[in-house]
Chain A
């Protein structure tokens, strides 16, 4: 997952309200690894609602995350294909009314199980980090 200009810019806007001058100056960017690891859970959770094609997923993620997650779109497809190879997703082609053929992805039962596991993991992780950082953070 590459950090694009837009993602860094949006983080800058998000952190503007922080008081510390060095945070504003050095653009505290979200860790790349954190983004990569969470993409799978984002995709699975999106697809749990409805089946989507690639571009639809990217727009939905950008929208729902308030612009924080805007990543290089091409890198989404290897992830989708790998998830499908692991049996977490299923793909099928669909032709829209305008005549464009798009490849939709649907979540499988195994995918739903994985999502459930990842959600639990994320909650555990989030609570632990919050606790370590202490309740004093704004």
Chain B
């Protein structure tokens, strides 16, 4: 075996790889081309040529290495999902507009709090998304356990030391800033859960038990602090993570346990928490309770029904609708701009969700896929539930509309989710493929 002949092959591969900027895929490309060339060389040798002739002929048939390399480079570049970015920008802009509308409707009672806060969070959020695009999500994987512990610790501290502000429990940080840990928790926790699960090699009852244990710890904290919406979001976010990391056999057990625990939880909450019980009753008997516990639902219904095709104009005053800037942004939006605009917003939300799902399916790397699935689940839940409860289809819980509603912690959380998805998607072609057959997930 002359090494000189094979040196020519290596030189060829080198020329090809030099055109590919993403160095992570060089090994993969080199292996693929070398395997091809060796196959061709074998065939030529079988036809009776010498090794050296065969190598020369094979490389000639491969074509110009620079052209091949340039073609491969174009296939392995960072990808940006501009449609998603545009939609996020639209929703954020809509949020700012709505804050100005609410301001006008309430004749400046809030001063500049709503609008300034919203613009600040919008800028911070967009900045966060841009920053996240340049972070390699795989590097964060290793420190995920610490992140998990840190968030849980913060949740405990909020329970003990936190103050109630506008219906949320927040931590007052030194320097006066408020930190709403619970709002940030679903996404961070599901990212950490995905990281932790992705580092386990074996799938047996011990790992599944460990996974369920990790999953249950935040439940305890959420229950203790009565943050049921975030608990629901966390659970929904973890379901796709489990779907990716648990093989079919264990999936049913995992879902079974979660499903039973969740149903038990719903009954428990219904029985013991008056606030939620009232919301459900108001939902089931809308006309009967419209003056007390069903007030918000009744007002939402009235607002939407009286909106008309083109609404009552920007900043139309309707002081009877509570939380027009958070929980009831969608009905208020319809009241301002009409059913036509409401329909448009629903279509754009649909496009957003569809786009996210398409993005998630294109990613093959399992960790990225699981994290994207989780973020997708949380954002979809928030969008769908907010609009559905505004339309009176489900009981009203305090679920914000992503990017549109007021609430900087929630907005940051939603930007984290989108940023995560965009960051994973950006890298999807910059990574080598796995060595075993990719499972159909």
B75 touches A82 (CB 8 A): yes
The answer for the CA separation of A49 and B258 in the assembled complex, in Å, is 41
A100 touches B38 (CB 8 A): yes
Mask for A81-120, Cβ within 8 A of B = 1, else 0?
1101101001111100000111100000000000000000
Mask for B410-421, Cβ within 8 A of A = 1, else 0?
000000000000
With A54-B32, A101-B31 as known contacts, state yes or no: A74 contacts B68, CB within 8 Å. yes
Which A residues are CB-close (under 8 A) to B435? 92-93
B63 touches A90 (CB 8 A): no
The answer for the CA separation of A91 and B362 in the assembled complex, in Å, is 13
Can you spell out 18 A-B residue pairs with CB atoms less than 8 angstroms apart?
A55-B35, A55-B36, A72-B61, A72-B62, A74-B33, A74-B68, A75-B67, A77-B36, A78-B68, A81-B72, A82-B74, A85-B79, A85-B429, A92-B433, A93-B31, A93-B433, A94-B437, A103-B35
Which B residues are CB-close (under 8 A) to A2? 63
* Min CB gap A74→B, angstroms: 4
The answer for the CA separation of A72 and B433 in the assembled complex, in Å, is 25
The answer for the CA separation of A93 and B435 in the assembled complex, in Å, is 5
* Min CB gap A127→B, angstroms: 32
A73 touches B433 (CB 8 A): no
Chain B residues touching A, range: 35 or more
Q: Which chain A residue shows the least CB distance to B67?
A: A75
Which A residues are CB-close (under 8 A) to B35? 53, 55, 100-103
With A73-B61, A78-B71 as known contacts, state yes or no: A87 contacts B433, CB within 8 Å. no
Instruction: Among A72, A73, A82, A90, point to the contact of B364 (Cβ < 8 A).
Output: A90
Q: Which chain A residue shows the least CB distance to B28?
A: A103
Which A residues are CB-close (under 8 A) to B364? 90
With A82-B75, A85-B75 as known contacts, state yes or no: A75 contacts B433, CB within 8 Å. no
Beyond contacts A77-B33, A82-B74, A87-B361: 15 other A-B pairs, Cβ-Cβ < 8 A, are A4-B61, A53-B35, A55-B39, A73-B40, A74-B16, A74-B63, A85-B75, A85-B428, A85-B429, A92-B436, A93-B433, A93-B434, A100-B39, A102-B35, A103-B35
Mask for B361-390, Cβ within 8 A of A = 1, else 0?
110100000000000000000000000000
The answer for the CA separation of A4 and B63 in the assembled complex, in Å, is 10
A75 touches B31 (CB 8 A): no
Is A128 an interface residue when CB atoms closer than 8 A count as contact? Answer: no
Please give me the 9 A-B residue pairs with the lowest Cβ-Cβ distance, nearest first: A78-B71, A72-B63, A81-B75, A74-B62, A74-B68, A74-B63, A82-B75, A87-B362, A92-B437
With A75-B67, A94-B437 as known contacts, state yes or no: A81 contacts B62, CB within 8 Å. no
A92 touches B438 (CB 8 A): yes
> Which B residues lie at the A interface, using CB under 8 A?
16, 28-29, 31-33, 35-36, 38-40, 61-65, 67-68, 70-72, 74-76, 79, 361-362, 364, 428-429, 433-438
Interface centre among B70, B75, B361 (most CB of A within 10 A): B75
Which A residues are CB-close (under 8 A) to B32? 54, 77, 102-103
A residues 51-85 near B (Cβ < 8 Å) are 53-55, 72-75, 77-79, 81-82, 84-85
* Min CB gap A85→B, angstroms: 5
* Min CB gap B167→A, angstroms: 43
Q: Which chain B residue shows the least CB distance to A82?
A: B75
The answer for the CA separation of A4 and B62 in the assembled complex, in Å, is 11
> Which A residues lie at the B interface, using CB under 8 A?
2, 4, 53-55, 72-75, 77-79, 81-82, 84-85, 87, 90-94, 100-103
Q: Which chain B residue shows the least CB distance to A72?
A: B63
Which A residues are CB-close (under 8 A) to B28? 103
Q: Which chain A residue shows the least CB distance to B70?
A: A78
The answer for the CA separation of A82 and B68 in the assembled complex, in Å, is 12
The answer for the CA separation of A74 and B69 in the assembled complex, in Å, is 9
The answer for the CA separation of A91 and B438 in the assembled complex, in Å, is 8
A73 touches B39 (CB 8 A): no
The answer for the CA separation of A87 and B79 in the assembled complex, in Å, is 13
Which A residues are CB-close (under 8 A) to B433? 91-93, 103
The answer for the CA separation of A100 and B70 in the assembled complex, in Å, is 26
* Min CB gap A55→B, angstroms: 5
* Min CB gap A61→B, angstroms: 14
B362 touches A78 (CB 8 A): no
Which B residues are CB-close (under 8 A) to A73? 36, 40, 61-63
With A92-B437, A93-B435, A102-B35 as known contacts, state yes or no: A75 contacts B68, CB within 8 Å. yes
The answer for the CA separation of A94 and B438 in the assembled complex, in Å, is 11
Which A residues are CB-close (under 8 A) to B61? 4, 72-73
Which A residues are CB-close (under 8 A) to B63? 2, 72-75
* Min CB gap A93→B, angstroms: 5
* Min CB gap A2→B, angstroms: 6
The answer for the CA separation of A91 and B79 in the assembled complex, in Å, is 19
Which A residues are CB-close (under 8 A) to B39? 55, 100
Q: Which chain A residue shows the least CB distance to B63?
A: A72
The answer for the CA separation of A100 and B32 in the assembled complex, in Å, is 10
Which A residues are CB-close (under 8 A) to B79? 85
Which B residues are CB-close (under 8 A) to A77? 29, 32-33, 36, 68, 71-72
Q: Which chain B residue shows the least CB distance to A81?
A: B75
Which A residues are CB-close (under 8 A) to B31? 93, 101, 103
Which A residues are CB-close (under 8 A) to B438? 90, 92
Which A residues are CB-close (under 8 A) to B40? 55, 73
